[in-house]
Structure 1
Amino acid sequence: MVVLNDAAKQIIEAQRGLHPQYVFPCNGKAVGQMLNSAWKNARKRAANKYERITGSPANKGFKNLRVHDFKHTFGYRLRAAGVYEEDRKDLMGHKSDKSVTTHYSAPTLERMIELANKVLETDPQQRNSLTIIRKKAA
């Protein structure tokens, strides 16, 4: 299960019904993997659009953005929004060293959605300054 905040849910809902079976099809078929030619081409289009709008070229990080980088950013923004580590682990699907008591008091879906929406409540200037975090390859 993937917990969506209101912004992500809005994007998904806008796509519903555009294809009879899939939310985000690629050439009418299911997407088998995220780092595919469609993603790579979308990155190029986004970098070109950025350059047209701003008048300066997109930086290398933007041009090489990976799907997983969004997960890193989401985790960072959850932390900046004050979401507890245990809840961040649940939202991001990370394994947790939970106690048996914690295991039996799993978070409700409503609570997880509320926490995911916290990234939307941060100061807009702070949200814009939070960038995609990516560890440099050695």
Structure 2
Amino acid sequence: MLQRAISPIRRRLDRVGIGLSGLCAIHCLASIVLVSGLGVGGEFFLSPDIHRYGLVVATLVAAVAIGWGALRHRMAAPFVIAMTGLTFMGGALAVPHGVKEAVLTIIGVALVSLGHILNMRHCHSAACKERCGD
């Protein structure tokens, strides 16, 4: 009974994770265009704090949603893919602002999104419904 109530929460967290990943990618691209092309918003868009906080939020959402799914469904792929993405995002914090940082971050958020998508797909699969009752 409790598991049936918790499942929609995890699915919502996967959707939130995908949305946050998309926002992060938009932020990276907008930063490059606005700061490089127009020279505006550098203090806000290139602030290291935004990237640090974003990585913390992404890690928490992925840990709960994907970690929960990995434990429940014994599926390693979404977890491994998302953690690889978080590693890329962490690596982006170690390079100077610019194209390298944006490329690492976009690769990272794409992998985290893919992890969330795979996690959600497994929840809707027949194998999951049979084994877990989700």
TM bucket normalised to smaller: under 0.3
Structure 1-normalised TM-score?
0.25
- Could you say which structure has the larger radius of gyration? 1
TM-score, scaled relative to structure 2: 0.26
Higher relative contact order (CA 8 A, sep 6+): 2
